[in-house]
Copies of this chain bind each other. A is one copy, B any other.
Amino acid sequence: MTSVAGARSGKPRYLQIADDIEEQIKGGRLAPAEEVPSETVLMERYGVSSGTVRKAIAELRAAGLVETFQGKGSFVKSRPPVTRKSSDRFRRSHRRAGKAAYIAETEQAGVKPTVQVLSIGPVAAPREIAERLGTADGDKVLARRRLYFSDGVPTEEATSYLPWSVARDIPELFEENPGGGGIYARLEEHGHEFAEYVETVRARLATKQEASALGLSPGSAIIHLTRNAVTTSGKVVEVCDTIMAADQFVLDYRIPALD
């Protein structure tokens, strides 16, 4: 019956509560990784019902300030270090030094990189991938799916697609560890000399699957990067499709001035 609620001061109660907790976080009174008071406690403290508290927490989650775990509670997010993806990470000199692109760039950021291979094997090429590879929709391609971690935190899920005609001759591409310098080094050893890489960047909200794969709260932003590796003969020998947690990456690109 109450009703009461609503716009005592213009602003919805759940936003007032969210703002209050946000200030406590930003003011340091709630430290990173610390547990936010439970819903029961907050209901009593603010004199509201469960639904209102839950909307407030949902607001904080959407803002990326807390994450919640069923049965455990809500916790202040610790802001993880940013990994900078700079556009010189594909230099041959890195590969000659035995470093794949991911290792080269994250080491630079002072983060310990690890990789987990999720699957390697033939698949039917999805439409967009086939278009980029210049093959037909559904053609057999080699897919290498892997998950990258920075200091143990999953940050990036990447799938490389290679035309079967290219991949079948290079046995290392079917190994979990393709050897020093990564798959690009192996491709160059087999006569595929790279001329350029073309990257396409999109950003959007994470789907449920992506969020859980990267350990994100639903509603987080992700960067979707697709890269074509183009050889001097103009052939696309690899397409890499990557989903990254947006808050952990900054992408740098240099564009030469042209006429």
- Flag if B257 contacts A200 (CB, 8 Å): no
| Distance in angstroms between the alpha carbons of A63 and B207 in the assembled complex | 8
Oligomer copy total:
2
Asked if A161 is at the interface (CB within 8 A of a chain B CB), the reply is: no
- Flag if B91 contacts A259 (CB, 8 Å): yes
Kindly provide the distance from the CB of A27 to the nearest chain B CB, expressed in whole angstroms. Answer: 19
Set of chain B residues within 8 Å of A218, measured between Cβ atoms: 62
Total interface residues on A, CB under 8 Å, equals 42
Q: Which residue of B lies closest to A218 (CB)?
A: B62
Set of chain B residues within 8 Å of A70, measured between Cβ atoms: none
- Flag if A253 contacts B219 (CB, 8 Å): no
- Flag if A221 contacts B199 (CB, 8 Å): no
Set of chain B residues within 8 Å of A164, measured between Cβ atoms: none
Set of chain B residues within 8 Å of A253, measured between Cβ atoms: 87, 198-201, 253, 255
| Distance in angstroms between the alpha carbons of A92 and B255 in the assembled complex | 13
Asked if A251 is at the interface (CB within 8 A of a chain B CB), the reply is: yes
Q: Which residue of B lies closest to A230 (CB)?
A: B257
Asked if A204 is at the interface (CB within 8 A of a chain B CB), the reply is: yes
Set of chain B residues within 8 Å of A249, measured between Cβ atoms: 202
Residue with the greatest number of chain B CB neighbours at <10 A, chosen from A195, A221, A259 = A221
- Ordered by A's residue number, 5 sampled pairs between the chains whose C-beta atoms are within 8 Å are A64-B204, A91-B258, A201-B223, A205-B219, A205-B221
Interface residues of A (CB under 8 A from B): 51, 62-64, 87-88, 90-93, 193-205, 218-223, 246-247, 249-259
